[in-house]
Amino acid sequence: QDIQYVDHTMTAADLTQVGSDTESLVLSRAVKHHVEHRILLNGHRTVVFK
């Protein structure tokens, strides 16, 4: 999960682009963490090491 700051001057297309960019960034970060074996499943919890 991640956040992006937006404001009222942005158009619907701008907001859509920001959302798409954020999803891509989060997915790439998750894949990187997985490849680097930095994710540990512990019961019902997920631990991500820095």
Convert the pLDDT of each residue in 17-50 to its tens digit.
999 999 999 999 999 999 999 999 999 999 999 8
Prediction pTM value: 0.77
Terminal Cα-to-Cα distance of the chain (whole angstroms): 15
The model's confidence at residue 8, banded by pLDDT at 50, 70 and 90, is: very high
Q: What pLDDT score does 5 carry?
A: 97
Cα dihedral sign, 14-19-24-25 = positive
Q: Which residues contact 50 (CB under 8 A, 6 or more apart)?
A: 38
